[in-house]
Amino acid sequence: MPSPRLVALLVVLAALAVPAGASASIKIASNAHKAALRVNANGVATVYWRTSSGTLRTAIVGRRGKITWGKTAPGRDISHPTKKVRIPMKVVLRRTPNGRFWALQDWRRLKTGPRELRLSRWRGKPTLLELWTFCCKWDSEVVRGRATYHGKPIVGYKSTPQGVPLDGLGRNVYIDSMRGGKWKRLMGILTRKPEGRFGLWIRDGWRGSSYRGRIVGPNWGRMLGPDAQGWAKSSL
């Protein structure tokens, strides 16, 4: 039987492995239009958007990531537009006096899914997704990359054999190729330990002039990292 000290240590390590609050940058709505964001002095965000039919919707996102639909938070907006950082898929980017960034991003995460309006909040540099290509493997090329946040790899601890994350830390990178003047989805690839790297061999029908990767930002503590994007030219 393990000692009480060992049991306590295992409990602490398990708690550190599980993210607090929401699982990532928070999905607010699907196919949203004219989205806006305000943040009060208590760090509570209110998101506004319109549906495809023009109906106004609202949601409150609390400090722990809890979403309350159809409400607005009291108090004045203390956030302001900023250009201190750059993020892809941007709809709104603001900053509060305590140095925290707040963003709304919009993109199609799943190949056959809707466009998702997602909220993030963080400090410092945004999520980084690096992409590169190299030739030649089996008469084609390979797209490789790495996902990090503040220099640390974005990886999970549990996944299916097919690469589907089974915990709140794991992430898929969604790879697109530029073909016929349009971005076309290839598939999602799991980031792997220990460095947050991933790789995809490009079959004949997938080859494009360039490749793009997108990833949902990490959730570490109360930091909901923004979603990231990387791209690379073909090596062929």
Q: In the chain, where are the structural domains located?
A: 21-122, 128-233
Tokens encoding 190: 């799991």
| Rounded Cα gap, residues 91 and 118, in angstroms | 10
Using an 8 Å Cβ cutoff, are 151 and 215 in contact? no
> What is the model's pLDDT at position 223?
82
> What is the model's pLDDT at position 191?
97
| Rounded Cα gap, residues 66 and 1, in angstroms | 39
| Rounded Cα gap, residues 115 and 21, in angstroms | 23
> What is the model's pLDDT at position 195?
96
Query: 3-class DSSP state for residue 103?
Result: strand
Tokens encoding 129: 């997704």
Spatial neighbors of 64 by CB under 8 A, at least 6 apart, are 20, 21, 222
Q: CATH number of the domain at 128-233, please?
A: 2.60.40
> What is the model's pLDDT at position 34?
98
> What is the model's pLDDT at position 222?
74
- Residue closest to 126 by CA, chosen among 151, 92, 91: 151
* Dihedral pair phi/psi, residue 141, rounded to 5°: -125, 170
Mean pLDDT, 10 residues at a time, over the chain (236 residues)? 36 32 76 98 98 97 94 98 97 98 97 96 97 92 97 95 92 97 97 96 96 95 91 96
The single-letter code of the amino acid at 192 is R
- Interior angle at CA 112, CA 106 and CA 117, nearest 5: 15
> What is the model's pLDDT at position 28?
97
| Rounded Cα gap, residues 20 and 23, in angstroms | 8
> What is the model's pLDDT at position 135?
93
Using an 8 Å Cβ cutoff, are 176 and 184 in contact? yes
What is 120-134 written as a DSSP string?
Answer: EEESSS--EEEEEEE
**How much of the chain is in helix, strand and coil states, percent to nearest 5?**
5, 50, 45
Using an 8 Å Cβ cutoff, are 32 and 106 in contact? yes
| Rounded Cα gap, residues 201 and 196, in angstroms | 17
Burial class of residue 198, CB neighbours in 10 A (0-12, 13-18, 19+): buried
